Amino acid sequence: MERIKPRTLSGFMELLPARQTQFERMLETLRTTYALYGFTPLDTPVIESAEILLAKGGGETEKQIYRFTKGDSDLALRFDLTVPLAKYVALHYGDLAFPFRRYQIGKVYRGERAQRGRFREFYQCDIDVIGDGKLDVSNEAEIPAIIYQAFTSLGLERFKIRVNNRKILTGFYEMQGLSAQSGEIMRTVDKLDKIGPEKVQALLVEQGISQAAAQEILRFIAITGSNAQVLAALEAYRGRNQVFDQGLEELGLVVKYLASFGVPEDHFAVDLTIARGLDYYTGTVYETVMLDHPEIGSICSGGRYDNLAEYYTDKKLPGVGISIGLTRLFYVLGEQGYLNDGLVTSPADVLVLPMTEDFTAAISFATQLRQGGVRAQVYGEQKKFKGKMSYADKLGIPYVAFLGEDEIAQGVVKIKDMATGEQQTLSPAQAVDTVAAALAQRAQGKPIREKD
């Protein structure tokens, strides 16, 4: 028989057990965080009708989507979690309570060119709050608080949430008489970090913007300082454009509420260069960057939008949300040495080694451990003692329990701490309590830590 060489497709991530355990702990931390803020979990099909997923269609989406037919059905793999959410809310509108707060963690698929840190199959983690007709601006202030809580819970410290309001940008360009060109201008301004202000100004002039207007644009987006200083500088533009004024009111409220939501000033910055989704976001917009690695780009982004499900219903469903590309974030954290290798969770807390042909006592003790909340595995393979200990060591299992004829006769169990080499002979009940207490003491760490 000719054997096929095992391989994993380019752009698809496959982890070894230790890394997979870290990834699962990361997922669990995020789920716990979102539940803390009153978000409900949601799952939607990976495969949808192509008509549903491509309702908006066009551009890069059409090129990147995985699309296929099965019988007469035209199907596609989801490329994000927002379009399935829109379908879900339109379909179940009558059964949902609004505002509808959901989080979803799931795989999405994009057939783009695979490269380091960019995948074709990857996990996205989205949270959204959807309103029925209206949605209060306080929801826009809560989102950065959730981002802050999520990343600090993952053990990250040096990150900054950059926030702007699209109405401020829209209003500013209306004031300059540049509404028609605002999209192109914002795309050019977005290159500021990469090419610098002089080249941005030159590009703007090339696009037909006057020298004076180009200088005014650069002066505007160069407004920096503390959040209070940026807001004070923006006050100078108040009263000249209604959309601008509304954006400034909303941004002021977001900044005001953030302190109450527990977000420190040094983790949050008003940044007038943030634009995002020109044809989608309509209010507050967010990008989150790691301060020591700006080259990574935004690790979490999103914003306020006016009408989530316009392609599926005539009901106005405004919302605000963010998305974290988890697979990319996990890959980058690993590359930069942020994943804490010392906190890899082993598949079991205790490896129970039966030292007799009859496994009854070993199985009973493993059951007792599990009933006490301790993860246990019975090792039944007929290997030499050294091989059994090597197995526990390789998997990082912290304790090994021995049950030989003497232990069984005396109604005790021998427990070895693999880290210290210390052995204790205890009753089964004492052994369960001792291991459970030691594990609780050790479980002070987090799955991801800030680099030393």
- What is the predicted pLDDT for the residue at 444? 57
Rounded distance, CA 92 to CA 85, Å? 10
Rounded distance, CA 402 to CA 379, Å? 11
The model's pLDDT over 243-270, given as tens digits with 9 standing for 90+, comes to 999 999 999 999 999 888 989 988 999 9
- What is the predicted pLDDT for the residue at 450? 45
- What is the predicted pLDDT for the residue at 75? 95
| Look-up of token digits 């941004």 | 251
**Per-residue tokens: 40:** 């409900």
CA dihedral 339, 344, 345, 346 (to 10 degrees): 150
**Per-residue tokens: 304:** 């306020």
For the chain, which residues score pLDDT lower than 50? 446-452
Rounded distance, CA 170 to CA 156, Å? 34
In 201-233, which positions are buried (b, 16+ CB within 10 angstroms) versus exposed (e)? bebbeeeebeeebbebbbebbebeeebeebbeb
- What is the predicted pLDDT for the residue at 341? 56
Peptide bond into 99 cis (omega under 30): yes
CA distances to 61, 66, 215 from 108, in Å: 13, 10, 42
Rounded distance, CA 106 to CA 123, Å? 5
Alpha-helical (H) ranges within 176-210 are 182-189, 192-195, 197-206
Rounded distance, CA 105 to CA 33, Å? 13
196-204: long-range contacts (C-beta < 8 A, 24 or more apart)? 197/222
Answer yes or no: are the C-beta atoms of 128 and 85 closer than 8 Å: yes
Answer yes or no: are the C-beta atoms of 431 and 371 closer than 8 Å: no
| Look-up of token digits 């030292």 | 355
Considering the entire predicted model, what is its pTM? Answer: 0.83
Answer yes or no: are the C-beta atoms of 52 and 114 closer than 8 Å: no
DSSP 372-420: TT--EEE------HHHHHHHHHHTT--EEEEE-HHHHHHT-EEEEETTT
Answer yes or no: are the C-beta atoms of 147 and 125 closer than 8 Å: no
- What is the predicted pLDDT for the residue at 254? 93
Q: How many CB atoms lie within 10 A of CB 164?
A: 27
Rounded distance, CA 211 to CA 205, Å? 6
CA distances to 48, 62, 255, 266, 287 from 230, in Å: 45, 40, 11, 14, 17
- What is the predicted pLDDT for the residue at 327? 86
